[in-house]
Amino acid sequence: MIKDGRNRYHPMAMLHDYIHLIKTTVPLFFLAFVLKADSSAWLFTYGRYILPAAVICSALYIPVKWYTKTYEILPSAIVVTSKLFTTSTKTIPYSKIQQVKRKTTWVHRLLGMTSLTLETSAEGRDGTVRFDVLRPSEASSMEQRVQQEKPDFERKTFLEKQDQENAQEDNHEQEEVERAEAATPVDQKEPRVIGDEKTIHFKPTKKDLIKASLASLSFLAVIPFAGSRLSDAEDLHFEKQVDGLFESLLSSIGMIVGALTVLTVIGVGLGFVRTYKKYGKYELASTFERIFITKGAWEQDYLSVRKDHVQAVLIEQSLMKRLLGFASLKLVIAGENEGEEEVTSVYPFFPVKRAYSLVHEVLPDYRVLGNMDRLPRRAFYLRLLRPSWIWVAVTAGLYFFKPGSFFIDLPWWAFSSALFVIIVLSRIQGYVHSRFQMDDTFIQFQAGGFTKTLYLSKRSKVIELEVSRNYVQQKSGLASVKLINRANPVRETIMNDVPDEFAERLKVWYTHQTLKRKAS
Amino acid sequence: MEVIMEPPLRQLSKDSIKVWIWKEVIENIIGTAVLIVLFILDRIFSWPVWAGWILYGLVGLTVMGMIWAVFKVKLLQKQWRYGINEDFLYVKSGALKEEYKVIPMTKVQSVSTNEGPLLKKYNLSSVEVSTIGRMHVIPALPKAEAQKLRQQIALYSNVEEEDA
């Protein structure tokens, strides 16, 4: 203990660091001085000087680091200070610590010590405090300190989890005793039905699946094949004789049509099989607190998600889906198992209206708002006039390198113009698609060019808000807004060129929750 | 309905300009040194012509950067605002691109104060606020104010999140 409650780490931490240093560098030494001792490659020639120098520096740095790093246990937070070139003091409130990990390796056991890691939800080193070596008694008291701050329900889930763990086989390694305390209960394999019925919301019919297989476009895979057949046929018949041109043309057209029909049938068939394989026995169901998604005809894929872990809902429509009247429903989920994808697809081929109605059915907390506001007209001109860096880069590239024909023989500027048209079309659609709305609790954005995406979230699920205005936007009274949701780790949703008034309303909307909470 | 939110009011220390100028000077000295070395290498190894163009281009950019930096540091200091209450941290910054962030206290994971050599020289401190997956920096406050802010944020953020 130094003064006013600040502590240095246990001196054994230096030993830990030295062992770590030796562990990591011995293989390198072996490589440089034994295996490649004769090598005159520059890597090894210089490496033989740099490696010992680096090790000496690290070895000297370890005690300095130990001396300059201190921690302080406050009633409600832990403070870590390091004073070297840069003085930095970090405070982590106990309530933010999500995981307390204790790991005792054989070295620790030999010394009668243990290690403790305190993790918050923030990613990386920044949100983690590590005690590489400390006395088990200290570790226990620190763990207790952290847990005392936790409200009761979390302790309960913690105890529950422990009971479940005990009930399962105890497959903890003897060497490494790791104890994790997590805020989320373990994901059960079997759906837990607590008194309430499981409602089935959606099961695709045969007709749905056929339409879906058309929309999935997998039948188009036959086109390159058909194309090559087609050009073969042309060569064959046109060059043969000019006399029977009409006749051969007819026969070749007949052949082409025949071949195409056969291939299309095969393609559609294959597409159907693929779609059936994936969504054949698809089922979307839910109970009061969970959503269940079953996929796959032969191999079943089962997913269960807690409703309160849903951070946002996305309804996505690609160009093809818009033409066929389909929409894809996706959920942004956080707080489920580690390694979970940040966006989970519920089902990609709902009829549009069904997708919208399902949101409220599956997640009664959510509601799709009608009458969304559109962007002002000035936003349209601004978007059209905004330079497209992709187009500039591609055009410059085409101009300088003038690559040879890409299957089709056209001058370079034709591709540049085509790209230009596509970009303009995408921007026009982007303007038309852009809509926004919010009410007491919900926020709803729609955006996107060729692919249109509707984003739905609740105020309580938005973890940060950002409003930005670049120079042109400032002059034209527009703003870009960014909402951050938890995902894996976070997901940003950006809505560009909304009017200033909306941005201001959004700021008030976002901060309003506290006024309400205080009032109640 | 016309509603406008009060902008946050607290400013950075005036000395932040000096810190940033120092930083610019040091960075430019290093940058210029690198450029000189590159020019020497260009001479010695007679690099192709386009390498020379790129080098001249870099010189142009460096000079423009230096001129812009003079305006930039003043604008940065002038435009920076932050505000704090029990529930939110507000940060507003930038002139050409204006940014306004609202960070709920409940989502703050940790908060730290940092003083590098330059900040130490003027008795300043920066405050870094970590949330899940993001980091927000208030670059230069008087040291005492920064310490107080760190304690305040730690205190306000020390509540359980209602929603996971």
pLDDT digits (tens, 9 = 90+) for A343-352: 888 888 888 8
A456 part of contact set with chain B, CB < 8 Å: no
pLDDT at residue A415 tops 90: no
CA nearest A503 in B: which residue?
B4
User: Would residue A364 count as lying in a domain?
Assistant: no
Interface of A with B in 172-231 (CB under 8 A): 183-184
Which positions in chain B touch A127 (Cβ < 8 Å)? 109-110, 130
Q: What pLDDT does residue A496 have? A: 93
Site from B23, B126, B130 to mutate, A interface, most A CB atoms within 10 angstroms: B130
DSSP letter at A362? H
CATH number at residue A439: 2.30.29.30
A206 and A94 belong to one structural domain = no
User: Would residue A343 count as lying in a domain?
Assistant: no
User: Would residue A175 count as lying in a domain?
Assistant: no
Two tokens at B110?
């940790």
A150 part of contact set with chain B, CB < 8 Å: yes
Please compute, for residue B27, the number of CA atoms within 13 A of its CA located in the half-sphere on the CB side. Answer: 12
Interface of A with B in 304-333 (CB under 8 A): 308-309
Q: What pLDDT does residue A487 have? A: 86
A503 and A433 belong to one structural domain = yes
Q: What pLDDT does residue A346 have? A: 87
Listed ranges A189-198, A474-483, B47-56; the one with the highest mean pLDDT: A474-483
- The total domain count for chain A is 3
Mark yes or no for CB contact A122/B100 under 8 Å. Answer: no
A406 and A513 belong to one structural domain = yes
A233 and A378 belong to one structural domain = no
> By percentage, how much of chain A surpasses pLDDT 90?
28
Lowest mean pLDDT among A242-256, A369-383, B49-63, B100-114: A242-256
Of B5, B98, B158, Cβ closest to residue A504: B5
CA nearest A511 in B: which residue?
B88
User: Would residue A134 count as lying in a domain?
Assistant: yes
Banded model confidence at residue A473, pLDDT cuts 50, 70, 90 = very high
Q: What pLDDT does residue A162 have? A: 52
Q: What pLDDT does residue A250 have? A: 67
Interface of B with A in 133-162 (CB under 8 A): 133-135, 147, 150-151, 153-155, 157-160, 162
Mean pLDDT of A60-72: 92
A162 and A208 belong to one structural domain = no
pLDDT at residue A192 tops 70: no
Banded model confidence at residue B145, pLDDT cuts 50, 70, 90 = very high
User: Would residue A183 count as lying in a domain?
Assistant: no
Higher pLDDT among residues B133 and A356, named by residue? A356
A292 and A439 belong to one structural domain = no
A76 and A26 belong to one structural domain = yes
Helices (H) and strands (E) in chain A, counts: 15, 21
Q: Which of A167, A186, A212 is the last residue of a domain?
A: A167
First to last CA, chain B: 33
- SS3 annotation, A322-333: HHHCEEEEEEEE
Contact A311, A457 (CB under 8 A): yes
A150 and A203 belong to one structural domain = no
Give A395 to chain B, closest Cα distance, Å.
Answer: 20
A226 and A304 belong to one structural domain = yes
Interface of A with B in 66-95 (CB under 8 A): 76-77, 85-95
User: Would residue A350 count as lying in a domain?
Assistant: no
**Please, what is the average pLDDT of chain B?**
88
Residue A92 domain boundaries: 6-167
DSSP letter at A94? G
pLDDT at residue A186 tops 50: no
pLDDT at residue B2 tops 50: no
Mean pLDDT of A466-476: 93
A12's CB contacts (< 8 A; 6+ apart) are A111, A113, A133
Contact A80, A89 (CB under 8 A): yes
Mark yes or no for CB contact B112/A96 under 8 Å. Answer: no
Q: What pLDDT does residue A191 have? A: 45
Q: What pLDDT does residue A407 have? A: 60
User: Would residue A409 count as lying in a domain?
Assistant: yes
Contact B127, B113 (CB under 8 A): yes
Q: What pLDDT does residue A150 have? A: 54
Q: What pLDDT does residue A321 have? A: 86
User: Would residue A101 count as lying in a domain?
Assistant: yes
Site from B72, B81, B102 to mutate, A interface, most A CB atoms within 10 angstroms: B102
DSSP letter at A489? S
Which positions in chain A touch B108 (Cβ < 8 Å)? 96
Of A92, A94, A460, Cβ closest to residue B163: A460
pLDDT at residue B161 tops 80: no
Lowest mean pLDDT among A9-13, A203-207, A398-402: A398-402
A465 part of contact set with chain B, CB < 8 Å: yes
Q: What pLDDT does residue A336 have? A: 63
B52's CB contacts (< 8 A; 6+ apart) are B42
Banded model confidence at residue B49, pLDDT cuts 50, 70, 90 = confident
* Angstrom distance (rounded) from CA A462 to CA A493: 10
Mark yes or no for CB contact A120/B110 under 8 Å. Answer: yes
Mean pLDDT of A476-489: 91
Give A192 to chain B, closest Cα distance, Å.
Answer: 20
A151 and A213 belong to one structural domain = no
Contact A462, A484 (CB under 8 A): yes
Q: Which of A297, A326, A355 is the last residue of a domain?
A: A326
Mark yes or no for CB contact B100/A466 under 8 Å. Answer: yes
Mean pLDDT of A216-244: 55
**Please, what is the average pLDDT of chain A?**
80
A471 part of contact set with chain B, CB < 8 Å: yes
Mean pLDDT of A327-346: 78
A218 and A295 belong to one structural domain = yes
Please compute, for residue B155, the number of CA atoms within 13 A of its CA located in the half-sphere on the CB side. Answer: 9
A278 and A210 belong to one structural domain = yes
